[in-house]
């Protein structure tokens, strides 16, 4: 499957959403330093292979942070564009 189809496949989207939501939920329960991939995949009911097909080690946290920063940056840009 080519990369463009892989990013829009509904199964891929659902899996990534589950991983991200579960990761954020678990962060409310345990400190980041104590959160393990094993716990995350058990909560998501996926295999390690599935997890690593989507993310590398700390890639999950970095991707979430980058996405939120870009979102915030866009909000600021729009806000200040409207003031001109």
Q: How many domains does the chain have?
A: 1
Query: What would the pLDDT profile of 27-82 be if each residue is shown by its tens digit?
Result: 999 999 999 999 999 999 999 999 999 998 678 999 999 999 999 999 988 888 87
Q: Is the pLDDT of residue 7 over 80?
A: no
8: confidence class by pLDDT, cuts 50, 70, 90: confident
pLDDT at 22: 96
> In 3D, which of 27, 9, 53, 66 has the Cα closest to residue 40?
27
- By CB neighbour count within 10 A (0-12 exposed, 13-18 middle, 19+ buried), where does 61 fall? middle
Range of the domain at 37: 4-82
pTM of the model: 0.76
Q: How many CB atoms lie within 10 A of CB 32?
A: 10
pLDDT at 5: 56
> In 3D, which of 66, 25, 17, 56 has the Cα closest to residue 7?
17
């Amino acid at each position: 499957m080519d990369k463009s189809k892989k990013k829009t496949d509904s199964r891929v989207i659902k899996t990534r959403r589950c991983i991200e939501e579960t990761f954020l939920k678990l962060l409310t329960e345990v400190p980041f330093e104590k959160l393990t991939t094993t716990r995350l995949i058990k909560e998501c009911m996926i295999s390690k292979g599935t997890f690593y097909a989507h993310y590398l080690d700390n890639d999950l946290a970095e991707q979430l942070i980058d996405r939120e920063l870009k979102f915030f940056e866009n909000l600021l840009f729009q806000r200040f564009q409207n003031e001109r």
